[in-house]
Amino acid sequence: MRLAQFLTEKNICPDLKAQHRDGAVQELVLRLVQVAKLKQEQLEPLVRAVVRREALGTTAIGRGVAVPHARVEGLSRTYLILGLSKEGVDFDALDGEPVHAIFLVIGSEKAADEYIEILKRISSLIRNDDFRRFLAKAHTASEVVELVAEMDR
């Protein structure tokens, strides 16, 4: 499995406007609804599900990255939406630092192993100093897609 399978240009928001968690989640879920062709009325329940999940413990895993997630019944596959923020978003991280990359993972109930594999690949990339440096310099979705394709091997 490669992250490139899940990250195409339309799955990337290269310039998030929100500076707070809930607003950022809203922006990412809105993109998900468009990409996954979900019904508009699914937007709010999905935002609530992701925000509720954050209350069980932050998903900001360190080095300026968060992996908020929720599982949705009936979804045929796992979706990944990546949002970048130059300003940083307050995600209640253990290290107190704002996050600059948010990987929203929306999966089905059944695909537990796929979810763990996606998390493993994201965290392995983030631990790579070169990846983080290049990601911080990326301005467009296509640059991010290229970067992920090149470094997630």
CB nearer to another protein: give 7 or 122. Answer: 122
Could you say whether residue 48 binds another protein (CB under 8 A)?
yes
Amino acid at 92: D
CB atoms under 10 Å from CB of 61, counted, come to 19
Interatomic CA distance for residues 110 and 105, integer angstroms: 14
Amino acid at 28: L
Could you say whether residue 115 binds another protein (CB under 8 A)?
yes
Span near another protein by CB under 8 A; candidates 3-11, 73-81, 120-128, 138-146: 120-128
Query: What is the bridge-based pairing of β-strands 69-71 and 99-107?
Result: parallel
Select the residue interacting with another protein from 20, 52, 86, 110 (CB under 8 A): 52
CB nearer to another protein: give 17 or 127. Answer: 127
Could you say whether residue 153 binds another protein (CB under 8 A)?
no
3-state secondary structure of 82: strand
Select the residue interacting with another protein from 112, 136, 139, 150 (CB under 8 A): 112
Place of tokens 């990944």: 80
120 contact partners, CB below 8 Å, separation of at least 6: none
Work out the angle at residue 96's Cα, subtended by the Cα atoms of residues 124 and 81, and round it to the nearest 5 degrees: 45
Span near another protein by CB under 8 A; candidates 6-14, 27-35, 117-125, 133-141: 117-125
Which residues are at the interface with another protein (CB under 8 A)? 22, 47-48, 51-52, 54-63, 65, 67, 69, 94, 112-113, 115-117, 119-120, 122-124, 126-127
